[in-house]
Amino acid sequence: SNISSWWNFGSLLGMCLVIQILTGLFLAMHYTSDTMTAFSSVTHICRDVNYGWLIRYLHANGASLFFICLFIHVGRGIYYGSYLFFKTWNIGVILLFATMATAFMGYVLPWGQMSFWGATVITNLLSAIPYIGSTLMEWI
């Protein structure tokens, strides 16, 4: 039989994505995007909003679970030769990079010390790209 449990990770990715979207919407209701108040709004969510701490930790740990499922999904695709389907594989790679960019933006949103230094490191890495690096860094 061609069916194994490795093929469930696409569905798990979908479930993780739904959880991320729902918890992200609930968090966005109380989040302030100004750099001066972003961190205090996250603190407000955790301390003052009913079950805000739970929603935040579901969102943060859901992102980790999403990437675990994503890497297993990609690994399964490599193992079973899914890269032979050129268009499907290219769309998957584009989605992988889009997901990584979205996760980076979510990592920076709380604007704590880890967020600040993470943003500093990534933007400095992007500045090393020849010709477009400095423009890309300013854009981000």
| Of 13-17, 77-81, 120-124, 131-135, highest mean pLDDT | 13-17
pLDDT tens digit sequence for 70-99: 999 999 999 989 899 999 999 999 999 999
Name residues whose C-beta falls within 8 Å of residue 134's C-beta, 6 or more positions apart in sequence.
Answer: 127
Domain boundaries, the chain: 5-109, 111-140
Res 1: pLDDT: 53
pLDDT tens digit sequence for 35-58: 999 999 999 999 999 999 999 999
Helices (H) and strands (E) in the chain, counts: 6, 0
For residue 64, the one-letter residue type is S
Look-up: residue for tokens 């423009």? Answer: 135
Instruction: Say how far apart CA 127 and CA 135 lie, in whole Å.
Output: 8
pLDDT > 70 fraction of the chain, expressed in percent and rounded:
99
For residue 67, the one-letter residue type is F
Full-model pTM: 0.87
Res 99: pLDDT: 97
Query: Looking at domain 5-109, does it have CATH number 2.40.420.20?
Result: no
Name residues whose C-beta falls within 8 Å of residue 123's C-beta, 6 or more positions apart in sequence.
Answer: 137, 140
